[in-house]
Amino acid sequence: MIFLNSLLDFAGHPEDLMSESEKTYTNGEITVVWKPGVCIHSAKCVQGLGEVFNVNARPWINMEGAGTERIIQQVGQCPSGALSYFRNEKIAKATR
Ligand code: SF4
């Protein structure tokens, strides 16, 4: 993994220095949750879907970079569980 990180110049996510235990990103349909303290910097997300997961961008997760189902698919491949998601409609229904 160290080699892979070096290869990608992937020293860490830009939001790593923030103290929040999780950050959220939404496209209206779903919300992606990222837990910096759980992330192991495998770069699977960056490699798999760079249009959404880009450590050089701010914010580093661009929810407009791909369709909802593709983002869900990539989130499911996070090896550490740092990435997760929920569908916003469930929350909207629950608050009615
Ligand atoms: S795939 Fe998961 S563990 Fe790997 S860099 Fe992305 S968020 Fe971190």
Which residue's alpha carbon is nearest to atom 4 within ligand 1?
42
The dihedrals phi and psi of 24, each to the nearest 5 degrees, come to -125, 150
Ligand 1 pocket residue status of 45, Cβ below 6 Å: yes
Cis, peptide link before residue 59, omega less than 30° from 0: yes
Token pair recorded at residue 59: 């914010």
Mean pLDDT value across residues 32-57 = 97
**Which has the minimum average pLDDT: 1-5, 16-20, 32-36, 57-61?**
1-5
Ligand 1 pocket residue status of 35, Cβ below 6 Å: no
Q: Which domain holds residue 66?
A: 4-94
The whole-model pTM stands at 0.80
> What's the gap in Å between 12 CA and the centre of ligand 1?
10
Q: Which atom of ligand 1 is nearest to the CA of 80?
A: 3
Q: Is it the case that residue 83 has pLDDT exceeding 70?
A: yes
Q: Which helix (H) or strand (E) holds 7?
A: helix 2-7
Task: Domain count for the chain, please give it.
Answer: 1
Ligand 1 pocket residue status of 61, Cβ below 6 Å: no
Token pair recorded at residue 1: 């993994």
Instruction: Confirm if 17 and 39 have CB atoms less than 8 A apart.
Output: no
DSSP state of 61: B
Token pair recorded at residue 48: 């798999």
Q: What percent of the chain has pLDDT over 70?
A: 73
Q: Is it the case that residue 16 has pLDDT exceeding 70?
A: no
Q: CB-based contacts of 87: which residues, under 8 Å, 6+ apart?
A: 29, 30
10 or 35: which carries more pLDDT confidence? 35
